[in-house]
Structure 1
Amino acid sequence: MATTTAALSSISRTNVTVPLSVVRNHRHQPTGPDRSGPADHSRPGGSSGSCPCDRSESEGRSESGPNRSSETGRSLPPSDDDSSGGLITVPVSHPGLSTFWVGSLDFWPPPRFFQLVPLETPARIVRELTSRGYNADREAVTLLASAPDPVGALDRAVESAPEDALKLSAEHVRRTLDGNGDESADPSVSTGNGDGSSGPREGASPVETEGSASGSAQGRSDGAGVTTSRSVADRSVAIDGDVTDESTGTGEYEDFVSVFRDRFKRLSGQLRGRVNARPTNAVAEMPGGSDAAIVGMISDIRSTASGHWLVELEDTNGTFPCLVMKDREFADVVDELMLDEAIAVEGTLADDAGILFVDSLHFPDVPRTYSPSTADRHVQAALISDVHVGSQEFLADAWSRFADWLHTEEAEHVEYLLVAGDMVEGVGVYPDQDEELDIVDIFEQYEQFSEHLKEVPGDMEIVMIPGNHDAVRLAEPQPGFDEELRSIMDVHDARITGNPSTVTVEGVSVLMYHGVSLDEVIAELPDGKASYDDPHKAMYQLLKKRHVAPQYGGHTRIAPEEKDYLVIDEVPDIFHTGHVHKLGFGKYHNVTAINSGCWQAQTAFQKSVNIDPDAGFAPIVDLDTLDVTVRKFV
């Protein structure tokens, strides 16, 4: 629907780390059947749940593409700067190694590029410590997990801790393991939120590593085997654009006028520096044959009988028709246009001045010369979304492996966890959802999510936004939960903000948006420009339009506010979304775009509509280089 002028106004195994090139030579990659993209449906009572995990077959358009999943793994969407380097860690039999995860090896002992590393389960230690009222340094957890008798070591460490201790340090655990653990006044045992620095740990993860830079997920160290420790004081997190406690919309007509006027003012301001635009009513008074430029929001797009495109542009003064001839070199971008987005056009008026023949078309866009900010130290962030706790298909084992890995030395630089919505499965999101629920009470779902969140290291900085399955309003922008749910999810001092929000982590700005509008972008645009198989390409379109939900009146519900919280005023360094349950990442004009997949296996409903989710992946971003590495935990 176009805007109107009025409105506008248990794991112990051996792993092998091997170069990706070797794995690719051994990997079987069968071609699966074509997959149709998901359609949309409405919730009972008129609520729209427009994501691949909760749509019916009756609506939307079909997207076809090869099924890139296989028994042996999947071919990850490449970034713009794809590299064949990197390592992959796979579980194998030991010592009688004859086969491995993605092929066969005919040699033992393994050649020099193989590196055998043990895997432990520090998350079990964390859960036990939490149940006894303690937190611990990452290194302390790893020391306990790697002890010959982890349970006995944990018991001794807890028994020898001072009565007022809240956090066990690595030094205290070392003294306990050395038999000197009776330390009633041990200064290495923290009684508050002290230094959360990490130290050397043992262990590795049964995960696949692939990304835009070789070896970017490998733990870095200074000196011979001495791991760099970082203080919590080095960290910084700032949040901007959060609608929580700022919503003023009442749903009245004037609110819609206000939000669209604000959108037009801000987006037209980004465009006016590129063209010498005049209002539509002024252009209408110019003589025929004059050169003219218009900045406006698209109120209509239609093709002519001759195959040309007629685009109606609207500003606060009226509308004006603009014709894009099919033989113009930029005509191929017309199929990227969506209703209600702002663009600028330049051209020549017809002889009767009733139409503008377009010579050039401009989006607000990201400057090609954009230079992103980076952190001034080596630090990483894990980007995940769509956990869906409460679903029968929630991958609890994969989550535990992810949490285990976060406690290992390899993950010591992962100090931030950014979650882009859908923490739980929700209730009543799509028809017959109750048949696929493991937990039917929404509050119990969040309580269980909190228990899983406790498995990650307690010294990580966590930021979360809601999604369309979460217990918040569907209309965007979405506030960041009420006080009752916030209190349930108050784990490791997690920060909860609205959807969308810009989270600046050590100088690196991350635009976090759940991603409901990606469904509309994919439905409206050709497969080559936006698809579920390559969700990051749909994200490129939102960056180009400088708005996370440009089209009004479709499946993406937009709340009328005094200002449009969905405009992308400042170019982010990283754009992080979820929602579509597909993994994809790449760079658009130097902005890193990441859709982080999900933690939910294929549900019966998803299977019925040929939705093949990418589950159990965790993109890891080096904030000092913006390199992306994907870790696999299934």
Structure 2
Amino acid sequence: MPLESNARIVKELARRGYNAEREAITLLASASDSAAAVESVVDHAPDDALRITADHVRAVTGDRSASGTDPTASGTNPTASGTNPTASGTNPTASGTDSAGSTDSDSADSGTTRTHKSTPNRTGDETPSATSTAQSPVETEGSPSDAGSTTDHDAVDPPADPPHHDPDLRELRIGNDMTGRSTGTGEYGDFVQTFRDRYERLSKVLRGRVNHRPAEAIAEMPGGSDAAMIGLVNDVRSTKSGHWLVELEDTTGTFPALIMKDKGLADLVDEILMDECLAVEGTLADDSGILFADSLHFPDVPRTHRTGAADRHVQAALISDVHVGSDEFMADAWSSFTDWLHTPEAEPVEYLLLAGDMVEGVGVYPDQDEELEIVDIYEQYEAFAEHLKEVPADTEIVMIPGNHDAVRLAEPQPGFNDEIRSIMDVHDAQIVSNPATVTVEGVDVLMYHGVSLDEVIAELPEEKASYDEPHKAMYQLLKKRHVAPQFGGHTRVAPEERDYLVIEDVPDVFHTGHVHKLGWGKYHNVLAVNSGCWQAQTDFQKSVNIDPDAGYAPILDLDTLEMTVRKFA
């Protein structure tokens, strides 16, 4: 049947309050009277069902070609057939093993852990390394890049007889989810604890590279001694002679380092942000009052980082910034995307990772109410839930909040309250904090909405970070091993006992949104992806010169970490 038939069936079921598995849609589309089949399936669906499964369809159409048993037999419940991959019955917030396989009380297991073969690793020699530049959507149309290509959604002929999804092959775990674990009260001591945790964890990364001494110990060393210090950047300023003075702070005190302009370190100085963790090596002045820097070290991602990979061909769609409720929400593009997900060509897409801003929100920027199609925040989430029903029911979905969502603005952001979760329960999506790490069949994906990208782009030179190439700003966050290093600027930080914004474990994929620009590339074998948006340019965006890349869906091969960007607008 043509795609339009599938699309009509999906929308009709969504209108009636259901989403559906891909196989169920295929069976309904192939029925001699699709409309009558839809009516019959809806009439016979269990009262508590939220999704239509293939067994529901077979029970009313009599199609048993894919099943050795009669689904209508007495005592058989179609909803308990095992074809629903999300009906695992486990608690997604239960503690378990993290992405490295070790038990971590600070990580939450998604509960979707199933039998899975060992995951092969690939060395840096087997994948493109470092600093590829993303192309514009037009330039990459149908052409390869180091991390993938951009194609129109109907550019490839769908394969015949797509394989049926086996939920037992899926493996999905969540790490670093702070939802329900917030301890901060906003007291001064809470901030001290957050920055102490940041220092302790990032300094461990740097101690293997420099012979670190605490600030108070360096102050007692004789002049002319070689010394190295690891600390958080307390101050950076230029001297009258064109040198730079960097003050570092550790748990024992502060100490200044002078970076001479003739040392060849200017390029690195340009990248320094306040409050990030940094190591400086050099020689003490004769009076031991200052450290003359010879080298700077960021925590950084090792160039030898080895990536994980799925042991079968399976894909994940990486999207963000849907902005339902805005009068510029691109409903047609979204429907084209969800229609495509029901085609045989999209059969390998078993995961959808959504990096925040599901709705447009209320009161986010000046005069926003003039650009809203839906003015009530709860109605916005209800509308988003209706659009989510169009996604195949057998798709595993993970969502994190963004700055337009109805959660606290300060990061880390917990994954919504119970009321909003209940509105979005149509798809059994896993809703976790911003940021969070999602391990998908052996591939570690760091999901972060990306508010700090504004800060990085504002502070660093254009060649280091820009809105036109957002992945380069993401490289800087990977280099600093922290998603929001600078405190007190545009990015609000909530004090917690643990700094959930530290990138302690190197991810295989770094997925962000927020800036509404499409960009991707690899940094030390980590694929950095900013996935654009589903909102056309608003008047506010026009006033601040934001030209969004809307209606794109990066599709990631989890077995190869190659990526294709598909266009639906």
Normalising by the smaller structure, the TM-score range is 0.7 to 0.9
Q: Answer yes or no: is 1:325 the counterpart of 2:252.
A: no
State the 1:581 CA deviation: 0.5
Q: Is 1:495 the counterpart of 2:421 in the alignment?
A: no
The alpha-carbon distance between structure 1 residues 484 and 185, as it changes in their structure 2 partners (threshold 3 A), is: same
The range that moved more, 344-353 or 420-429, is 344-353
The answer to which of 344-353 and 507-516 deviates more is 344-353
**What's the offset of the Cα at 1:124?**
2.7
Q: Which moved more, 1:156-165 or 1:415-424?
A: 156-165
Equivalent residue number for residue 59 of structure 1: none
Superimposed CA distance per residue, residues 200-233 of structure 1 (whole angstroms, 9 cap, x where no aligned partner): xxxxxxx965553479999999xx9443333111
Match of residue 80, structure 2, among 192, 215, 224: 192
Aligned 1:23-422 pairs, distance under 5 A: 119-132=3-16, 136-145=20-29, 150-155=34-39, 167-169=53-55, 175=62, 184-185=72-73, 190-192=78-80, 194-196=82-84, 212-213=147-148, 225-422=160-357
Aligned sequence identity (%): 70
Letter in 2 for 1:572: P
Change (3 A) 1:174 1:379: farther
Deviation at 1:145, TM superposition (A): 3.5
Partner of 2:105: none
Q: Where does 1:601-612 land on structure 2 (aligned, <5 Å)?
A: 601-612=536-547
What displacement does 1:332 show?
0.9
Deviations along 1:271-319, one digit per CA (max 9) or x if unpaired, are: 1111111111111121221111111111111112222111111111111
CA deviation digits over 1:333-377, x for unaligned, max 9? 110000000111111112222211111111101000000111111
The alpha carbon displacement at 1:567 in A equals 0.6
Per-residue deviation, residues 543-585 of structure 1 (Å, max 9, x unmatched): 1000000001111000111111111111111111110011111
**CA shift at 1:195, angstroms?**
1.8
**Which whole-Å deviations, capped at 9, do the CAs of 1:162-213 have from their partners, x for residues lacking one?**
99995334756875699xxx9854999833362258xxxxxxxxx9655534
8 Å Cα contact 1:508-1:623 kept in structure 2: yes
Distance of aligned partners of 1:135 and 1:168 in 2 relative to their CA distance in 1, 3 Å threshold: farther
How many Å apart are 1:136 and its aligned residue?
Answer: 4.0
Structure 2 regions of 5+ residues with no counterpart? 86-139
Once the two structures are superposed, residues 498-539 of structure 1 have per-residue CA deviations (whole angstroms, 9 ceiling, x without a partner) of 111111111111111110000000000001010000001101
2:381 to 424, 446, 456: 446
Could you say if the C-alpha distance between residues 195 and 187 of structure 1 is closer, same or farther in structure 2, counting changes exceeding 3 Å? farther
Q: Could you tell me which of 339, 356, 368 is aligned with 1:433? A: 368
Counterpart contact for 2:53–2:83, Cα < 8 Å: no
Q: Partner of 2:449 in structure 1?
A: 514
Letter in 2 for 1:345: V
Who is 1:577 aligned against?
Answer: 512
2:549 matches 1:627: no
Matches within 5 A, 1:468-483: 468-483=403-418
Question: Is the contact between residue 310 and residue 323 of structure 1 (CA under 8 Å) also seen in structure 2?
Answer: yes
Q: CA deviation at 1:325?
A: 1.5
Partners in 1 of 2:486 and 2:424 — Cα distance? 33
**Residue pair 2:141, 2:150 contacting (<8 A) in 1 also:** no
Given that residues 249 and 559 in structure 1 are in contact (C-alpha distance below 8 angstroms), is that contact kept between their aligned partners in structure 2?
Answer: yes
Partners of 1:431 and 1:527 lie apart in 2 by: 27
Change in CA separation of 1:183 and 1:359 when aligned onto 2, cut-off 3 Å: closer
Q: Deviations over 1:49-95 (max 9, x none)?
A: xxxxxxxxxxxxxxxxxxxxxxxxxxxxxxxxxxxxxxxxxxxxxxx
What letter corresponds to residue 462 of structure 1 in structure 2? I
Alpha carbons of structure 1 residues 294 and 596: separation in structure 2 relative to 1, 3 Å: same
Structure 2 vs 1, CA of residues 306 and 126 (structure 1 numbering), >3 Å: closer, same or farther?
same
Q: How many pairs does the alignment contain?
A: 504
Verify the 8 A CA contact 1:162 1:186 in the aligned structure 2. no
Contact 1:210–1:631 (8 Å) recurs in 2: no
The change in CA–CA distance for 1:143 and 1:345 in structure 2 (over 3 A counts) is same
Query: Displacement of 1:610 after TM fit?
Result: 1.8
**Secondary structure of the equivalent of 2:199?**
helix
Does the Cα contact within 8 Å between 1:153 and 1:177 map onto a contact in 2? Answer: no
Q: TM-score of the superposition, structure 2-length normalised?
A: 0.83
Q: Which amino acid aligns with 1:168?
A: A
* Contact 1:515–1:580 (CA under 8 A) maintained in structure 2: yes
> Residue 261 of structure 1: SS of its match in structure 2?
helix
SS of the residue corresponding to residue 359 of structure 1 reads strand
Change (3 A) 1:163 1:429: closer
Rounded to whole Å, the distance in 2 between the matches of 1:270 and 1:191 is 49
For 1:549, give the aligned amino acid: A
SS at match of 1:557: coil
SS of 2:434's partner is: coil
Instruction: Compute the displacement of 1:149 (Å).
Output: 5.4
* Cα distance in 1 for residues equivalent to 2:364 and 2:495: 23
3-state SS of paired residue (1:120):
helix
Structure 1: give runs of 5+ residues left out of the alignment.
1-116, 198-206
Q: Is the 8 A contact 1:220 1:227 kept in 2?
A: no
What amino acid sits opposite 2:561 in the alignment? Answer: L
Query: Separation in 2 of the partners of 1:576 and 1:339?
Result: 24
d(CA) in 2 for partners of 1:523, 1:137: 44
Say which SS state the counterpart of residue 456 (structure 1) adopts: coil
Q: Secondary structure at the match of 2:564?
A: strand
- CA contact 2:23–2:164 (8 Å) conserved in 1: no
User: Normalization by structure 1: what TM-score?
Assistant: 0.75
Q: Report if the CA contact (8 A) 1:219-1:413 is conserved.
A: no
Equivalent residue letter for 1:585: W
CA distance in 2 between counterparts of 1:491 and 1:142 reads 21
**What SS class does the counterpart of residue 270 from structure 2 fall into?**
helix
